[in-house]
Structure 1
Amino acid sequence: MSELITAPSVDPRIFRDVLGTFVTGVTVVTTCDVDGVKHGLTANSFSSVSLDPPLILWCQATTSKSYPAFRDNEHFAINILAHDQSSLSRHFAKASEDKFGGIDHAPGIGGAPLLHGTAASLECVKVAAYPCGDHMVYIGQVARLSRSSRAPLAYCAGRYLSAPPRVEDEHDMLTEHR
């Protein structure tokens, strides 16, 4: 077993800047609270965990206003934003009483809102939640998913990037023609 080696101190700003050099996709994670009020937040702390069963993870600050809604609901959706949806990312990154006013969306499994025009979406059932530092790590099993042909939005060093357009491969062509 390896021993945890701790540095005398790691400057939080430098740590954040170093993590910012890693290019990520941009998602809006959504759910509903016990009263049916819709909640959503921008997150790039999203990753695949397992193909069989299909599991993903995402992380949320426990200080987030929407933390109780995500903590208490068994369903959430991961909306993977498309290349031209940086304004949607900024919208869901800000605190607001009604984040869904004027936003095109439809209800997904468990009422979790699915945003229109995204590159993809994954509707999940929460199977685990783990407290880690100042965040909660949620593991979700994918119950339903969809993908468009739109290129995804990416983020690096505090800036939005447009990912290159998707190139259709033989698998995509077979899937689209069924």
Structure 2
Amino acid sequence: MPRPSRTSVPHATSGGRPAEPPPISADVDLRPFMATFPTGVAVVTSFDADHRPRGMTCTSLCSISVAPPCLLVSLRSASPTLSAIRDQGGFALNLLHDGAQATSNRFSSGDPERFESTEWELPVQARGPHLWADAHATADCALLSTTVIGDHTAVFAEVERVITRDLTPAPLLYGLRRYARWPLPADTPATGVPDVNR
């Protein structure tokens, strides 16, 4: 029995010949598309060169490796938080629970008093402020590298430790430009969950 070819399959054919790929439009607005992909909500925190706390809301994050434990967050390239992460060599990633909508809004705004109106702590060896009252889990991450892509920067980091808290308030979700509650009780076992790192 013949073995399948390992060559790439053309995305379309015309008369037996590979078709030309469609042109990429510079006018594509990705935001409506990504709005239909609900995600959790996090606040990335660090300290700048003067040891002032910096932080911003982030929904663009994913795990990229289990061994070693590494993740990626995408941050606006002009963000003072990104500059602080580079200064400090790391950050804390605070995953918000569904009672923390106000904190998410505060850290996505230009509010200069965001840390003054948010409860946080700095445990020993923390990479940034831990938002203990608003986060159900926090990861301290060491910066590995950054890659600028358009108006954002992909930040690659290795997770040094994870602190989990009571999950009675479920994770905060965001999609279709609005917040939502986790649809199932936190103690309901999940089935059929894909291994994204496989």
- Relative to total residues, which structure has the larger helix share, 1 or 2? 1
The verdict on a shared fold, with TM-score over 0.5 as the criterion, is yes
Where structure 2 has 5 or more consecutive residues not aligned to the other structure, the ranges are: 1-7, 11-19, 190-198
- Larger Rg over CA atoms: 2
Task: State the TM-score, normalizing by the size of structure 2.
Answer: 0.77
Alignment of 1:29 onto 2:44: yes
Residue type at the aligned position of 2:154: V
Cα distance between partner residues in 1 of 2:153 and 2:143: 12
Cα distance between partner residues in 1 of 2:99 and 2:116: 20
Q: CA deviation at 1:9?
A: 3.9
Say which of 167, 177, 186 aligns to 1:158.
Answer: 177
Cα distance between partner residues in 1 of 2:48 and 2:22: 40
Q: Give the % identical residues.
A: 28
Residue type at the aligned position of 1:143: E
Whether the 8 Å contact between 1:48 and 1:57 is mirrored in structure 2 is yes
- How many residue pairs end up in the alignment? 167
Whether the 8 Å contact between 2:46 and 2:81 is mirrored in structure 1 is no
Cα distance between partner residues in 2 of 1:4 and 1:49: 29
SS in structure 1 at match of 2:57:
strand
Residue 102 (structure 2) aligns with: 87
Q: CA deviation at 1:62?
A: 1.0
SS in structure 2 at match of 1:106:
coil
Q: CA deviation at 1:71?
A: 2.7
Where structure 1 has 5 or more consecutive residues not aligned to the other structure, the ranges are: 170-178
Cα distance between partner residues in 2 of 1:52 and 1:63: 31
User: What does 1:6-85 align with in structure 2 at a 5 Å threshold?
Assistant: 6-12=23-29, 15-85=30-100
Cα distance between partner residues in 2 of 1:50 and 1:39: 26
Residue 112 (structure 1) aligns with: 128
Distance 1:130 1:4, change over 3 A: farther
Calculate the aligned-residue CA RMSD, in Å: 2.0
Whether the 8 Å contact between 2:85 and 2:143 is mirrored in structure 1 is no
